[in-house]
Amino acid sequence: MELLTKKIVMLRDIGIHGNLFGGTLMAWIDEAAAAYATEYCYTPNMVTVHIGELVFKKPLKAGQHVQIYGEVTKLGKTSITLMIDARKFNLYSREETSVCTTSITFVRIDDDGTPTAIGDTVRKNHEDAQRKVALAN
């Protein structure tokens, strides 16, 4: 998985139970994944169409660092699906602990909001990357 972004949990992000709001983490995931999908597909015209089940495994507290990782799991004709893993990062030990996982799908759209094909260059780059992964394993 590739590192997409880093965040620090701030007091403004904390709910009444002393943990990061789940909705805040969801927004961070959506933003990081959207940025990655638009770069991967060479277009700003991507919209979120589906977020899979979000599994909140551990709470996050104020001051903790979060690193959000992602990887492409599927490239369709008009869509791209990513697997996302948000991890708590311990500054002292450098240890990462998964705190939330999900999948997220984006669709490329035209100016009218109609799904439109992802370009051939993106497809070729994706196939090349898949081959490299297969050869490495």
Tokens, residue 22: 């789940």
| Cα(56)–Cα(53) distance, integer angstroms | 10
Task: Report pTM.
Answer: 0.92
What are the pLDDT digits (tens) for 86-129?
Answer: 999 999 999 999 999 999 999 999 999 999 999 999 999 989 88
| Cα(58)–Cα(131) distance, integer angstroms | 35
Long-range pairs, 11-14, Cβ under 8 A, ≥24: 11/62, 13/62, 14/61, 14/62
- Closest by CA to 84, choosing from 102, 106, 65, 66, is 102
- CATH 3.10.129.10 for the 2-136 domain, yes or no: yes
What are the pLDDT digits (tens) for 33-90?
Answer: 999 999 999 999 999 999 999 989 999 999 999 999 999 999 999 999 999 999 999 9
